[in-house]
Structures are given as C-alpha cells and as structure tokens.
Structure 1
C-alpha cells in the first residue's frame, strides 16, 4: 500500500490533474457523466462493444488504450494500468467531511473526479495483466497480494468511488483443442487428461467416487507428468487465494459489487469445485455484494449496465421464455448450470428483477435452445438454413409478443460460437430483425445471454438509430461472420501464399481480412434490409488477435 501511495504522489507531480488524452474512444460532448471501464483484454466484445453500448445512453466511457490492455500475445501490464487509473480519475478538489477527518485538512486535496459516476474494473487486468495472463502467469504470491491490496489503497484515497469489480474463476478447458492455445504449452497434449483429472477431483470432493472412478483418477495421476500437475495446481491455488482476497475486500465494503465469473467450465470440473468453495467462503465472510456467476466475457457489460441502473435509480423487470425441448433445463456447453439459472443470475447482476410470466416488463428475453438438447458449434453441418418446425413456433410466439407491444430480446444459444441459421432466416423472412430490442448469438451461451439481457434492458433509453446499429453489428458478427463467413474463409486459407492457419494468420492477415470483408458485404446485402446499405458499405472486418476465431466488425472511420 505504501508503494502505491508513493506512486500516487509521483503521478500527481508528473501529471498535475486529470488528463484523458491517453484514454481511447473518449466522447467529449455533453454527457450524463463519466464511467471508467477497464476490460480484461482488448477483444472487441470485451472492450469497445461494451463501452459503445453505454455511450449510446449518453455517458462518456473512458477506456485505457490498447497498448495497456492484454491480448493473445501481450500479457498486459498491471502497474501501468494502476498508473493510468490514478491519472484518469484524480483531480484537486474540496474534501468531503470524511476526507477532512481522514487527511486532517480543510484545504484542497487530490481525490476522485466528481464527474466520474462509476468505475468498472477487471481484477484480472489489474492483478495479472489480462484474462489470458491469469491462465499462464508465474507471478509470485507476494506480488499478487500487493496488487489485491491496491484496490483497498485506491478506495482509501478515493472513498466516494463506486467500484464494480469482476474477476475470473480460472477456466478448465475440456481439451487442448478447446483451449485456443491460451493455456500452458503442455495443455495441448494433456488437456483432456487434466480436465478429466479435475472432474474426478471435483466429484470426489462433492460426493465421492466409485471404485472404478478411483482407479481412473490414480491412472491419470500416473499418466500426467507430475511437473505439469504441480504447475497447474500451483497457479490455480494462487488465483483462488486472489479471489479470497477480493471477497475479503468486498466484505469490508470496498466494492459496490464483486462478480466472480466461472470461466469455461463444466458440471464437474476444477472451476466448478473452486466456485463452490468460494461460495462457502463468501457466506463465511458475509460478503453480500459478491455474486458467483457462470461466464466471464459478458461480465464487463453486465456490470456497466448495473452501474447505469444504480446511477439512474432503475431496476428493470425481466422475464424469459424458451424454445421447445430441454429449454430452460439445458446445461449448455462451457457452463455448469441450466440456462434458466444463468438468466436469473445475470438479471440480478445487472441490477434488475426477474419475474415469472410477468406483464409490463422491461424485457421479454426469448432464449433459443435446440429442441434436441444438443449444443454443438455453429460450424456443424446441422446449422443449416432449413427452417425447422420449432423455429417457426418460436418466432410466431415472439411475433405475437411484439405485436402486443412487448419489448423482446433474443439470446440465441442453440449453437455455440455463432447464430442459429434457421432462426435468422425466419426472422429475416418475417421482417423482424429490427423489431427486436436486442439479439446475441456469439461465443458461449452465457456470453450471448449476458449481451442480449444488457443491451435489451438498455435499449428503451436509446435512440432507435443507435439501437439498430447495435443490432446490425450483432447480425454481422454473430450470424454472418461467426456462423458462416468464418468457416468459408477457414476453408480458403490454402489460397493465400504464406500458409496462415485458423489460430495464427501470420502475414496472410491483411489478405484474409480483405476476403472476409468482401464476403461480409455480399452476405449483408443479401440478408439485411436495403435501408442498412450505406452502413454496410463502410463495414470492415479485421482480426485483431491475428486469428479467425474473433473479428472486429466496424464501420470505417
């Protein structure tokens, strides 16, 4: 804490007063106030898409520049982020009564900029450098504790700061292939074995193992090199204790809310076990502002939405309905709980109230689950354009609700990592794409639900043109790119001379982006209303992490 205080004094001498010149994407026009947002990396969905959603409500959202945020290869820089936070939130002003007593002065002090209404922070960025770094770091326990203590120190000197913090409960990928090369190198070869090892440990901890399962666990402990298991367990232990430290701070009232997001996991997994113990620890500490929730990439936008609801003293009311089949009971891929549980938890996290079969709600969330109970990738052959009977019924229900004047949003979780083509064809043919309040079908089901909920409850306070732009970006990204164009470009990679691959485009990146942009224009003109043609012409597709998995879909400036 003393080190950060010295750093704070140095910053004041160096910068004098708040200066946001090195904060990116700042709108200096008249606004409802400032919200500072530090995401867990610089992927568009984690970073600028979340910030732009809040800007459309009239807030100035201040975000660190890309070079301070981690990415696939750059593990980030926590010290520089703490310096950035100090510089962009601190001004010289009159003290509050508490500050007069604390600092023994009635004169001007350095404190929180009074225009800043909320600060939404990724603990992964401030402690490890980024979400990816949290999975691969070799940071000492002492340094991690110092960085956790930075939150208390910052709050001490900015007592009126409203801090909304989110932190990951480290993920447990089901295989090396599903890790996206964002785990230690050994996970490529032993990923499935390590996942299975942790699943058995979780089950043993919760309810015990059968004799066969005990033998399997013993076999895996022999199979996986002990050095790899030590590395895996050591890092997870550090991260677990970081979350305990954050819970301790929440129990002392340092945060408005602390969200612990269970990154990619399963019903039996190390992530699931750690979350269970963290939930027990939260209860032991009576930390009422802590919420343990499935998912991670959507938490930034959900907490930004919570902050806005708190500022405006609103509590949106939400209800949900589901497609045929397993519906709300589906436990989707990358999650450890039914989708209905996730919906209710996310409504709570954004500061709303969930009701069953409610009328006069702020949002009716329609959740598109696959009637077969499957939750396959959007690149599977079964994700075709043929309109299924369940989709017809699902859309007709939605259409009646819209005709009654109900605000409808769609969380499309029938497939992972992209839209359900059958659903999108029917929405297009029924001219319903822009009658929705929100739509989301990207990445994991929990990610999609979070975006659909947050943008859906906020849409009523946006201009129609702004709401429609958010919808357009989701259609271009989730439907056209993730469910269709990405697969086409992946199959065409051999056309490019430098031999780029799906996970590492290399020097083919520029040509791949041109090809994806060309396909995007063609698909968009064929599928979106003619009224969107001017916007579509400006759209460019880029691959900020030099891989095909995610894309930045944005109009050229």
Structure 2
C-alpha cells in the first residue's frame, strides 16, 4: 500500500488501497523502464508495463499498434495511465528521429488517445511527448540519428542554430555569410529528410496540444530533448508555445529534458490520486546557481527545476520552512557544466564543494529531507561531491540523489524519486539511492570512462557506440572495476558479485545487478548508519 503521512492529506485518502498505474515508457532502457517502475513500486503502487517485445530498443522501433492495444486491454482496472506519445506514434523515442512513417499515418495514431478516452472516460491520462533533439555534432548524436548525421551533424546544428538566431535576434553580416556557407555543406536530400521528419513531429505535437485543450488528454508535457539556446529544437519550442496560447500550466507544459518525464508524471499521478500537493524548496551551490544554463538545455536550470516540481504535482518555493523536501542542486561556480569524463572531475573539492555539502548538513540537521540534483558534470556524478558525502557519512541520509545524463534528467529524477521516497520505508529509499550511486557515480563517472579508454586493446571489432566483438571483454572489465569501487567506498555492504550488462550494445547504458539480498543489505545498512 502507498503509505502517506496521513495527517497531511484529506481524510478521504486514508482508506484508499494500493493503486494501479499503466505506464508506457518510450523505450526499454533500464532508466526508462525498470528503474522508473522500481521507484513507484517501492512507494507501494502497482505499475503495469507492456511486454518488453512491444517496446523499442536501440535498433528496433517497437510496436505502436501493439502498445495501443495493450493500453486498451489493461486500462479497465487502472487508476491512471502515463503514456509516451513517442512510443504510441512511432514505436520509441529513437524511432521518432529515424522513422519513415507518412504524416497521415502519424496523425491517424493520435486518434488512439481519443479512443482511450471514449472507452475509459474516467481514466486520467498523462502523456509525455518530445520535440526532436538537435545534437551539437556527430559524437553527441551517438547512433540515434539518421546515418547522415555522422557526416553532416556539425553543419546541421550550426546552420539551424543560425536560422533560429536570425528569427529571434537577427544576424550580423558575418553570421549571414556563415549561414550560407554552412547550408552549402549539407546536401539537399539530407536537410529535406531531417526537416521533413521534424515537421511531422511538430504537427503531431500540435494535435496532442489540441487533445489536451479539449480534455481528451488530462495532462501533456512536451520535452525538449538535447537542446541549446539557439537550435532547431528551441525554435520549434517557441512556435509550439505560441500555438498553445491559452493553455493552463495545470494541464500543459513545454520543458527542457525528456528521459525523466515518465517518473515525474507517475509521481504527479500518485499525488493527484491522493490529493497531495507537496511543497518543495530549492537551493543551489554558490556561484551562478539557478542562473546556470546547462549543457543540452536552452534555459536556466532554475526554470527547469520549477517546471519539474510542478510536473510532479508539487509547489516550488525558496523557503525550506514547512517544505516537504528541499532539492539542492550542485552547480559549478562558473555556471558551466562539464562532461563527467573530463580530468576536472576528480575527488578534489572545487571552489564550492565544501560549502555545498555544509548546506546539505545544515538542512539534514534541521530534519528537512534533502534531494540532490548533481549537475556540475553531464553524464555522470561529481566525484568531489561524492567523496565529500562519503567522508561525512551522508550518502544514505539523503532522500534522493541523481547525477546521470543531462542536467534536467538529474534534477527531474531527483524530484520524482525524492517525493515518492518521502512515503517509503528507509530500506526502500536506500535501495534506490544505492542504484543511483552505482549507476551515476561508480559506472557513469568512472567505470564507463575507463572501459572506453581500453576498448582499443580488446580483440575484434567494435566501439563504445556499438560494442560488437568487444562486448564480453567490456563486461568483464566493467564488472571488475565496479566491484573494486564497492570494495573501496562501501565495503560494509559486502558486495561480492556484480553483473554488468549493456542492453543497447554500447557503453552509455548499463544494467548493473548485485547478488546481495535486499534484506541482507538493510541489515548491514542499519548496522552501519544509525
């Protein structure tokens, strides 16, 4: 059963039994699928997810029609549904960038939401969509864009950034010349294909906005995937916002980020079911703080954080007094965000590391639950922060932590997991924290980088983007390195068997399993953290 502080919610909520939420993720990555599900389940909610064969992978688009039929077949006993429109319209998030569907077929699939509403008019439907991303270059695109992006990605990004700037601010004569030169580097069929797919995505999002305006969809969030202040993604965000004029933030938002939206909407659905509106305070490390515009985003992080709290069904505030939780965001003094694999990401404190951890200790001392959004580095934890938390015995005193992928992925995840963790047992809360520490700190910030540097000495063909023959030796090395970090930093858990899988056949996503029985973990935890 979902356990709330019953003194803080209406009496009607006291007799409500465990609720059922249908969840259609945008693909089968662990963070999208089973890690999101685990957070909600540990809060006592039953989460139903489609069979994995219906979900998209890195190379397979998933089954839009099958996913729709699954929703229709399973919604009868559900209390809410959280659905990725990218999965229902294209098959997956990656498929939304590479598909060859006609515009007519895509728009016809938007009728799925009308059919769901007609059959289940009382079912709250929460939808997360995306505006297609604009990776800065070929390396940033991975293997998730059409193959031509490997050759022309840099030109496409720079050219469309200037197009956006021309619309919003105007260009200098030098910039106008540069835009002409960049356009000449991109074949006509390439830019037509890329822009054509974006127009289909934009038109589908406009339909979803109207479905929300007409109460067919209860809540719609459109996420701006990998983005920049000047980019095609930003341009489409501005135009879509204009078409959504008059919409209330109570049922529609456009925000930075995508991968965290499933958890945030599940959190919103749960809070709505129980008529619970938590107040979440916000604090930042010294320096630029909330004015930081992180890598992969087009807006200050404070704008994103406030939107994420709202998405989760909460109310943001700057005062911790009376707040259900405080989200503390780890930013750099300079306002820059760096990559976790850079040498700067060492164990040695930077200018504001110690003062930030002092802030954490202060709020913990005041008995305020603390969630951490670790965004000093993209795609992995801040090693200096984690070492400081370890040394001060604070790792498992937090309510939630996230430091994976983009800044908004991390802050949004920490908001969602943090709010649900307020109503969990300490055992479940700490198991979720352990998942993030192993994934974001051990693996993303350290093991992934080390394995990538060794790939060239492994036999056979393969790369960090497609492991191929190097899959098995990469797994072996990753398992040993992760085990070494367990032994070095949290030996009291006595973890002696670690299994690392790469579900998308590349280093970026990991699925790390430990053999430790949860009950044994809890026993060891309380023996060491009292």
Length-normalised TM-score, structure 1: 0.88
Cα deviation 1:390-410 (Å, max 9, x = unaligned)? 111110121121011111111
TM-fit CA distance, 1:547:
0.4
Q: What SS is found at the alignment partner of 2:428?
A: helix
TM-fit CA distance, 1:281:
0.7
Residue 257 in 1 paired to residue 219 in 2?
A: yes
* Equivalent residue number for residue 39 of structure 2: 53
User: Which consecutive residues of structure 1, in runs of 5 or more, have no partner in the other structure?
Assistant: 1-29, 90-111
Q: Distance in 2 between matches of 1:85 and 1:167?
A: 17
Change in 2 beyond 3 A, CA 1:539/1:64: farther
Residue 370 in 1 paired to residue 332 in 2?
A: yes
TM-fit CA distance, 1:372:
2.4
Alignment of 1:204-223 (within 5 A): 204-223=166-185
Q: Distance in 2 between matches of 1:289 and 1:55?
A: 25
Of the three residues 512, 517, 542, the one matched with 2:479 is 517
Q: Distance in 2 between matches of 1:538 and 1:466?
A: 21
Residue 64 in 1 paired to residue 50 in 2?
A: yes
Alignment of 1:96-175 (within 5 A): 112-113=76-77, 116-175=78-137
TM-fit CA distance, 1:525:
2.1
* Equivalent residue number for residue 5 of structure 1: none
TM-fit CA distance, 1:375:
1.1
Indicate the larger mover: 521-530 or 280-289.
Answer: 280-289
Change in 2 beyond 3 A, CA 1:284/1:237: farther
TM-fit CA distance, 1:31:
6.6
TM-fit CA distance, 1:377:
0.5
Question: How many residues were matched structurally?
Answer: 501
Q: What SS is found at the alignment partner of 2:338?
A: coil
Q: Distance in 2 between matches of 1:553 and 1:510?
A: 15
Q: Does the 8 Å CA contact 2:396/2:430 hold for their aligned counterparts?
A: yes
Q: Distance in 1 between matches of 2:17 and 2:174?
A: 63
Cα deviation 1:278-330 (Å, max 9, x = unaligned)? 11111156786111111000000000000010011101111111112211111
Residue 441 in 1 paired to residue 441 in 2?
A: no
Q: Distance in 2 between matches of 1:555 and 1:65?
A: 24
* Equivalent residue number for residue 550 of structure 1: 509
* Equivalent residue number for residue 44 of structure 1: 30
Cα deviation 1:61-117 (Å, max 9, x = unaligned)? 11112211111101111011112222222xxxxxxxxxxxxxxxxxxxxxx22xx11
Indicate the larger mover: 475-484 or 76-85.
Answer: 76-85
Cα deviation 1:159-206 (Å, max 9, x = unaligned)? 111100000011000111100121111111111110111111111222
Change in 2 beyond 3 A, CA 1:449/1:527: same
Residue 270 in 1 paired to residue 232 in 2?
A: yes
Q: Distance in 2 between matches of 1:471 and 1:528?
A: 13
Q: Distance in 2 between matches of 1:442 and 1:287?
A: 27
Change in 2 beyond 3 A, CA 1:78/1:364: same
TM-fit CA distance, 1:210:
2.0
* Equivalent residue number for residue 537 of structure 1: 496
Q: Distance in 2 between matches of 1:382 and 1:313?
A: 45
Q: Distance in 2 between matches of 1:501 and 1:177?
A: 12
Indicate the larger mover: 209-218 or 259-268.
Answer: 209-218
Cα deviation 1:187-245 (Å, max 9, x = unaligned)? 11111110111111111222222222222222222221111111111111010000000
Residue 88 in 1 paired to residue 74 in 2?
A: yes
* Equivalent residue number for residue 97 of structure 1: none
Q: Does the 8 Å CA contact 2:459/2:469 hold for their aligned counterparts?
A: no
Change in 2 beyond 3 A, CA 1:57/1:458: same
Indicate the larger mover: 315-324 or 242-251.
Answer: 315-324
* Equivalent residue number for residue 4 of structure 1: none
Alignment of 1:291-302 (within 5 A): 291-302=253-264
TM-fit CA distance, 1:538:
4.9
Residue 248 in 1 paired to residue 234 in 2?
A: no
* Equivalent residue number for residue 35 of structure 1: 21
* Equivalent residue number for residue 499 of structure 1: 461
User: Which consecutive residues of structure 2, in runs of 5 or more, have no partner in the other structure?
Assistant: 1-15, 518-530
Q: Does the 8 Å CA contact 1:31/1:60 hold for their aligned counterparts?
A: no
TM-fit CA distance, 1:363:
1.1
* Equivalent residue number for residue 195 of structure 1: 157
Q: Does the 8 Å CA contact 1:392/1:426 hold for their aligned counterparts?
A: yes
* Equivalent residue number for residue 452 of structure 1: 414
The alignment's C-alpha RMSD in Å is: 1.5
Q: Distance in 2 between matches of 1:275 and 1:387?
A: 37
Q: Distance in 1 between matches of 2:442 and 2:465?
A: 20
Q: Distance in 1 between matches of 2:328 and 2:73?
A: 43
Q: What SS is found at the alignment partner of 1:386?
A: coil
Q: Does the 8 Å CA contact 1:250/1:287 hold for their aligned counterparts?
A: no
Q: Distance in 1 between matches of 2:421 and 2:460?
A: 44
